[in-house]
Chains A and B, each alone.
Chain A
Amino acid sequence: MSMVVLKPGMLSTFQDLGRFGQQHLGVSVAGAMDQRAHQLANVLVGNDPALATLEITLTGPTLRFTKPCCLALCGADLSATLNGQPLVLNRPIVVRAKDELSFGGRQHGTRAYLAVHGGFALTPVLGSTSTYLRSAMGGWHGRALRRDDEIPLLQPLKNEGLEDLAMDLWSLKIYLPAALAEPRQAFVRLIKGQQWDEFTPESCAALLTEPYRVSPDSERMGYRLQGAPLLMTTPRQMISEGTTFGTIQVPAGGQPIVLMADRQTTGGYPKMAYVASVDLPRLAQMGPGDMVSFRAISLEQAQALGVARTQAFATLADALQPVRNLLLNH
Chain B
Amino acid sequence: MAGKIRIVVAKPGLDGHDRGAKIIARALRDAGMEVIYTGLHQTPEQIVETAIQEDADAVGISILSGAHMTLVPRIMELLRDNGAEDVLVVVGGTIPQDDADELRQQGVAAVFGPGAATREIVEFLQGAVPA
The reply to whether chain A is a binding partner of chain B is no
Interface residues of B (CB under 8 A from A): none
